[in-house]
């Protein structure tokens, strides 16, 4: 009986675009942001947005992602602040992924600036060259195509690749080259440099529990057997941690064709107290998020509304509908009751408002053209009685008709030709009650 050939070690890479939002902002404004060593991306000075990204030089002052812009500027007052160039960031992200797909048979986006790649089975394709050489060629190819640098971590698992990319990043003073490959069998030794809190999925509460046990670093935890960890942490957490600290992670890299949700949110320049102003901003978000949805040929069933109060308390509410929707009218009808209920439960000024759409329909069928009449029989004015010519929509669950969908497609064509603000609901034209500078995400 012949012995089966040995299984080749997995070749998993994590590609991380270096200071992605900062790099794209510099590309888009070479005379302004491009010349600023200290650069914060996330909003203008005086806005109430948060830091999306900051240059490595700013991070030396303590500036971090998700920090309020005002606090970031107190730490680094000489920094230049610019909004996030979101449209261009999406384009650059797709361009980077296209380059990676030329090297790896499987590419999985993890976020807008991170991608897992599985190069398993490609050893002969690349002449059995060291994985580090392949990674360096990938890095150079991305820069040649986009003008952006990426860092690459590689190992036998997603976990090791994730930790390796942090070491690979060419931060000032580190001497890193942009690529760090952990050879098979070296995972345990490589991970000893990290704290347990650095490991993915080891949250603050778990890290605190481990500290009470005298375990702060991976090296300290590696001295414990799996049985000892299971005895102290339980039959699930103990073996799980024992595998993590030794770099064992069997999760698979899978391509992901569609994102899980489409969302828009706005941080306002002043806290909003007036109900009509908050509802107007909900409508504005519904127009934009539904347009994003249709641009990707998606329909959604779940609508989520997010609120952040003036005291920074964040709340959300969601509902899943009986049918799929794509029009701004249906999004508003589903979202408004959620907003009103949250405002009723806790009456507080609004700092941030957001809408997310999820639970998509796999609908790739072409949509038939629909001819609209100016006064279709199914249309009823206020107070009119139904003639039975069209099914009536229940007030608590919006349902879309062919007319609704044809109407939004016509609006999309107009906006596509003349701009997003070429035609908007009349309520959005009135700017007499301003919200202050808005930061949209």
In a domain, 152, yes or no: no
pLDDT over 70, % of the chain: 83
Task: State the pLDDT confidence band at 380, using cuts at 50, 70 and 90.
Answer: very low
Task: State the pLDDT confidence band at 45, using cuts at 50, 70 and 90.
Answer: confident
In a domain, 127, yes or no: no
Q: Could you say which of 68, 85, 102 is where a domain stops?
A: 85
pLDDT over 90, % of the chain: 56
In a domain, 143, yes or no: no
Q: What is the mean pLDDT of the segment spanning 113-126? A: 92
Q: In this predicted structure, what is the pLDDT of residue 57?
A: 92
Dump pLDDT digits (tens) for 282-307: 999 999 898 888 877 788 999 999 99
Q: In this predicted structure, what is the pLDDT of residue 4?
A: 59
Task: State yes or no: pLDDT of 35 exceeds 50.
Answer: yes
233 and 340 part of one domain: no
Number of domains making up the chain: 3
Task: State yes or no: pLDDT of 440 exceeds 60.
Answer: no
269 and 354 part of one domain: yes
Q: In this predicted structure, what is the pLDDT of residue 61?
A: 94
Q: Could you say which of 85, 103, 123 is where a domain stops?
A: 85
Q: What is the mean pLDDT of the segment spanning 88-99? A: 91
* CATH number of the domain bearing residue 265: 3.30.1490.100
In a domain, 414, yes or no: yes
In a domain, 130, yes or no: no
Q: In this predicted structure, what is the pLDDT of residue 319?
A: 92
Task: State yes or no: pLDDT of 393 exceeds 70.
Answer: no
240 and 271 part of one domain: no
Task: State the pLDDT confidence band at 140, using cuts at 50, 70 and 90.
Answer: very high
* CATH number of the domain bearing residue 70: 3.40.1170.60
229 and 322 part of one domain: no
Task: State yes or no: pLDDT of 6 exceeds 90.
Answer: no
304 and 414 part of one domain: yes
Average confidence score pLDDT of the chain: 84
Pairwise pLDDT comparison (86 vs 356), residue with the higher score:
356
431 and 333 part of one domain: yes
Please state the three-class secondary structure of the chain as a single string.
Answer: CCCCCCCCCCCEEEEEECCHHHHHHHHHCCCCHHHCCCEEECCCCCCCCECCEECHHHHCCCCCCCCEHHHHHHHCCCCEEECCCHHHHHHHHHHHHHHHHCCCCEEEEEECCEEEEECCCCCCCCCCCCHHHHHHHHHHHHHHHHCCCEEEEEECCHHHHHHHHHHHCCCCCCCCCCEEECCCCCHHHHHCCCEHHHCCCCCHHHHHHHHHCCCCEHHHHHCCCHHHHHHHHCCCHHHHHHHHCCCCCCCCCCCCCCCCEEEEEEEEEEEECCHHHHHHHHHHHHHHHHHHHHHCCCCEEEEEEEEEECCCCEEEEEEEEEEEECCHHHHHHHHHHHHHHHHHHCCCCEEEEEEEEEEECCCCCCCCCCCCCCCCCCCCCCCCCCCCCCCCCCCCCCCCCHHHHHHHHHHHHHHHHHCCCCCCCHHHCCCCCCCCCCEEC
Dump pLDDT digits (tens) for 232-275: 999 999 999 999 999 999 889 988 655 678 899 888 888 999 99
List 28, 31, 95, 114, catalytic entry? 114
Task: State the pLDDT confidence band at 371, using cuts at 50, 70 and 90.
Answer: very low
220 and 300 part of one domain: no
In a domain, 176, yes or no: no
In a domain, 15, yes or no: no
Q: In this predicted structure, what is the pLDDT of residue 421?
A: 65
Q: In this predicted structure, what is the pLDDT of residue 318?
A: 92
Domain span at residue 402 reads: 261-374+390-440
230 and 279 part of one domain: no
339 and 267 part of one domain: yes
Q: In this predicted structure, what is the pLDDT of residue 48?
A: 72
Q: In this predicted structure, what is the pLDDT of residue 429?
A: 61
Q: In this predicted structure, what is the pLDDT of residue 381?
A: 37
Q: In this predicted structure, what is the pLDDT of residue 408?
A: 75
318 and 402 part of one domain: yes
* CATH number of the domain bearing residue 222: 1.10.150.20
228 and 328 part of one domain: no
In a domain, 282, yes or no: yes
Q: What is the mean pLDDT of the segment spanning 383-405? A: 52
271 and 355 part of one domain: yes
Q: Please tell me the least confidently modeled range out of 37-46, 100-109, 232-241.
A: 37-46
Flag whether the pTM goes above 0.75: no
Active site residue 114: yes
Q: Please tell me the least confidently modeled range out of 105-114, 247-256, 272-281, 354-363.
A: 354-363
Q: Could you say which of 69, 85, 101 is where a domain stops?
A: 85
Q: In this predicted structure, what is the pLDDT of residue 67?
A: 86
Q: In this predicted structure, what is the pLDDT of residue 413?
A: 72
Q: What is the mean pLDDT of the segment spanning 35-40? A: 94
């Amino acid at each position: 009986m012949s012995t089966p050939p040995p299984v080749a070690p997995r070749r998993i890479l994590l590609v991380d675009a270096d200071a992605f939002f900062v790099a794209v902002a510099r590309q888009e404004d070479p005379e302004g942001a491009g010349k600023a060593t200290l650069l914060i991306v996330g909003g203008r000075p005086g806005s109430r947005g948060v830091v999306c990204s900051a240059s490595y030089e700013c991070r030396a002052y303590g500036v971090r992602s998700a920090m309020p812009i005002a606090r970031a500027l107190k730490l680094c007052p000489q920094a230049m602040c610019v909004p996030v160039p979101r449209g261009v960031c999406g384009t650059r992200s797709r361009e980077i992924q296209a380059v990676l797909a030329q090297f790896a048979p499987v590419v999985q986006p993890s976020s807008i600036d991170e991608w897992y790649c599985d190069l398993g089975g490609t050893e002969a394709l690349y002449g059995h060259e060291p994985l580090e050489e392949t990674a360096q060629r990938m890095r150079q190819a991305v820069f040649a195509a986009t003008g952006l640098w990426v860092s690459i971590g590689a190992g036998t698992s997603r976990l090791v690749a994730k930790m390796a990319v942090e070491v690979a990043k060419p931060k000032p003073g580190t001497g890193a080259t942009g690529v760090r490959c952990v050879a098979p069998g070296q995972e345990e030794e490589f991970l000893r440099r990290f704290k347990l809190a650095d490991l993915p999925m080891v949250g603050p509460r778990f890290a605190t529990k481990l500290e009470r046990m005298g375990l702060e670093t991976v090296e300290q935890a590696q001295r414990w057997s799996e049985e000892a960890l299971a005895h102290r942490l339980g039959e699930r957490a103990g073996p799980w941690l024992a595998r993590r600290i030794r770099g064992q992670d069997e999760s698979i890299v899978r391509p992901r064709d569609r994102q899980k949700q489409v969302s828009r949110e706005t941080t306002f320049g002043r806290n909003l107290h007036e109900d009509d102003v908050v509802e107007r901003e909900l409508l504005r978000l519904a127009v934009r998020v539904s347009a994003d949805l249709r641009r990707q040929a998606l329909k959604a069933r779940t609508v989520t509304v997010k609120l952040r109060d003036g005291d920074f308390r964040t709340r959300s509410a969601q509902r899943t509908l009986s049918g799929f929707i794509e029009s701004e009218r249906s999004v508003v009808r589903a979202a408004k009751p959620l907003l009103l209920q949250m405002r009723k439960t806790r009456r507080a000024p609004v700092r941030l408002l957001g809408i997310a759409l999820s639970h998509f329909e796999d609908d790739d069928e072409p949509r038939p053209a629909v001819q609209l009449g100016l006064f279709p029989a199914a249309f009823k004015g206020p107070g009119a009685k139904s003639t039975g010519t069209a099914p009536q929509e229940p007030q608590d669950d919006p349902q879309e008709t062919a007319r609704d969908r044809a109407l939004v497609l016509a609006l999309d064509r107009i906006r596509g030709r003349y701009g997003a603000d070429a035609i908007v609901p009349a309520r959005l034209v009135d700017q007499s009650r301003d919200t202050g500078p808005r930061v949209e995400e």
